[in-house]
C-alpha cells in the first residue's frame, strides 16, 4: 500500500489529485475522483459563483469524501468565489494564474486548505511563508497555460526550497509518472489530461477521442510571450501560427482564443476549438472510470517502486 503525507493532510486514500480544469472539471468528474479515493477538484474557471455552487452540491450529493475547487485568478469572480468556498466549507482550494496571498487569512479562518499551483521557485517560497498547506509544482508539459520550466527540473527545486508537501503536475498520466515524481521528492501527483478521458468526465466525446488519437508531437504551444497555452494541434493552432508569423497584436490573438475552450468542450469542435491537453495526451489510450484509472496508476507505481528497491543490494 502506497501512502504519502499528502494522504494524511487531505484525508484521501491515494496521493492523486485531479486538475481543476475550466469547463472540463465539473462536479460529476470531481465526485468520481473523490469517491475513488483521490482528490477531485471542480474547475471554477470564469464561471459565476452560482454555477460553482451547483457543482459543489453535485459533489456533495455523490460523496462525503474530501474534494476541492480550483479558483482561476483571472476570473472576474475571484472575490465572490472566495466567499463561496468559505461559506460552503469546501475542504480544499487550489489556485491558478495568480497569487492567492491576500485571501489566505479568510480561507484559513474558514478551515479551507489552500494549495496554490506554481511554476517557479520564487512564488513557491513566498507562498510557503504566507502559510499555504501544500503546493502544486506544474511543469510546462502540462495542458492549458504553461510556465517555462519542465517537471523534471522544477519539482526537485521546489522540494528543496520548501518544507510543505509538493504535488507534481505536468506530463504525468500513469504509474510510471507517479513513481518518478515520488523519486523527485513529490508527495503526490496532479493529473488533468488523464482524467479528461475518465468515463465520468462530461466533455464532448470528440474531445476525448482527440486525446486518445494524439501522438507524441501533437500537444503544441500557441500564444505569445507571457501567455503560452498548450493544446492539441488542429486548424485553430494553424490560425494562431499564421497570426504569430505576421506579428499580430496581443488583442488579435486574444480575440482568436475567446470562446474556443467552450467550443471544444461543449460542442466537440475539434477543428477550431481549443483542445487544451498536456504532453501526456500521447500516454492516454483508454476511456475508463476514474476509479479504474486510479487503481491502475497505484498498482503500476507500487510494482515499480518494489522492483526498483530490489536493484539496491
Ligand atoms: O492556471 C493554470 N492553467 C490554466 S488556466 C487556463 S484557461 C482558462 N480558460 C477559460 C477559463 C478559465 C481558465 C488553462 N490552463 N495553471 C496553473 C498555473 N498557475 N500555472 C502557473 C500559474 C501561475 C502563474 C502566475 C501562478 C501564479 C502566478 O502568479 C503571478 C503573480 O501574481 O505573482
pLDDT tens digit string along 42-96? 999 999 999 999 999 999 999 999 999 999 999 999 999 999 999 999 999 999 9
Q: Is residue 275 part of a domain?
A: yes
User: Structural domain tally of the chain?
Assistant: 2
Tell me, yes or no, whether 95 and 178 share the same domain.
yes
Q: What is the pLDDT, as a whole number, of residue 10?
A: 98
- Cβ-Cβ contacts under 8 Å for 128 (sequence gap 6 or more): 135, 161, 162, 163, 164
Q: What is the pLDDT, as a whole number, of residue 313?
A: 87
pTM of the model: 0.98
Tell me, yes or no, whether 79 and 228 share the same domain.
no
pLDDT(121) > 90 = yes
Q: Is the CB of 257 under 6 A from ligand 1?
A: no
The CATH number covering residue 102 comes to 3.20.20.70
Q: Which of 62, 8, 33, 12 is nearest to 192 (CA)?
A: 33
Q: What is the pLDDT, as a whole number, of residue 225?
A: 81
Q: What is the pLDDT, as a whole number, of residue 25?
A: 98
Tell me, yes or no, whether 298 and 243 share the same domain.
no
For residue 277, the CA-to-ligand 1 centroid distance in Å is 14
Q: What is the pLDDT, as a whole number, of residue 140?
A: 98
pLDDT tens figures, 164-204: 999 999 999 999 999 999 999 999 999 999 999 999 999 99
Q: Is residue 154 part of a domain?
A: yes
For residue 146, the CA-to-ligand 1 centroid distance in Å is 8
Other beta carbons within 10 Å of 19: 28
Tell me, yes or no, whether 188 and 256 share the same domain.
no
pLDDT tens figures, 235-287: 999 999 999 999 999 899 999 999 999 999 999 999 999 999 999 999 999 99
Domain around 244: 205-280
301 contacts 179 by C-beta, under 8 angstroms: yes
Q: Is the CB of 97 under 6 A from ligand 1?
A: yes
Q: What is the pLDDT, as a whole number, of residue 292?
A: 99
Tell me, yes or no, whether 220 and 293 share the same domain.
no
Q: Is the CB of 162 under 6 A from ligand 1?
A: no
Amino acid at each position: 500500500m502506497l501512502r504519502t503525507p499528502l494522504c494524511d493532510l487531505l484525508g484521501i486514500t491515494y496521493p492523486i489529485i485531479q486538475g481543476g480544469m475550466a469547463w472540463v472539471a465539473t462536479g460529476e468528474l470531481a465526485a468520481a475522483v473523490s469517491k475513488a479515493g483521490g482528490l477531485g477538484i471542480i474547475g471554477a474557471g470564469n464561471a459565476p459563483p452560482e454555477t460553482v455552487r451547483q457543482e459543489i452540491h453535485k459533489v456533495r450529493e455523490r460523496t462525503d469524501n474530501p474534494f476541492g475547487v480550483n479558483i482561476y485568478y483571472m476570473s472576474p469572480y475571484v472575490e465572490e468565489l472566495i466567499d463561496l468556498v468559505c461559506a460552503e466549507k469546501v475542504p480544499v482550494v487550489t489556485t491558478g494564474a495568480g497569487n492567492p496571498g491576500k485571501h489566505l487569512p479568510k480561507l484559513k479562518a474558514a478551515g479551507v486548505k489552500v494549495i496554490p499551483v506554481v511554476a517557479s521557485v520564487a512564488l513557491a517560497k513566498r507562498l510557503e511563508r504566507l502559510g499555504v498547506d501544500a503546493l502544486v509544482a506544474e511543469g510546462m508539459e502540462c495542458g492549458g497555460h504553461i510556465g517555462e520550466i519542465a517537471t523534471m527540473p522544477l519539482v526537485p527545486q521546489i522540494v528543496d526550497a520548501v518544507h510543505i508537501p509538493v504535488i507534481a503536475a505536468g506530463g504525468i498520466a500513469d504509474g510510471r509518472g507517479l513513481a518518478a515524481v515520488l523519486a523527485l521528492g513529490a508527495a503526490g501527483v496532479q493529473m488533468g489530461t488523464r482524467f479528461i478521458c475518465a468515463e465520468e468526465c462530461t466533455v464532448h466525446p470528440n474531445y476525448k477521442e482527440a486525446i486518445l488519437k494524439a501522438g507524441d508531437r501533437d500537444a503544441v504551444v500557441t500564444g505569445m510571450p507571457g501567455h503560452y497555452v498548450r493544446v492539441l494541434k488542429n486548424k485553430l493552432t494553424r490560425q494562431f501560427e499564421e497570426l504569430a508569423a505576421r506579428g499580430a497584436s496581443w488583442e488579435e490573438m486574444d480575440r482568436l482564443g475567446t470562446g474556443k475552450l467552450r467550443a471544444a468542450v461543449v460542442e466537440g469542435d475539434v477543428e477550431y476549438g481549443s483542445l487544451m491537453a498536456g504532453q501526456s495526451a500521447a500516454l492516454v489510450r483508454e476511456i475508463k472510470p476514474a476509479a479504474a484509472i486510479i487503481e491502475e496508476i497505484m498498482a503500476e507505481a507500487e510494482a515499480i517502486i518494489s522492483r526498483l528497491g530490489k536493484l539496491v543490494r
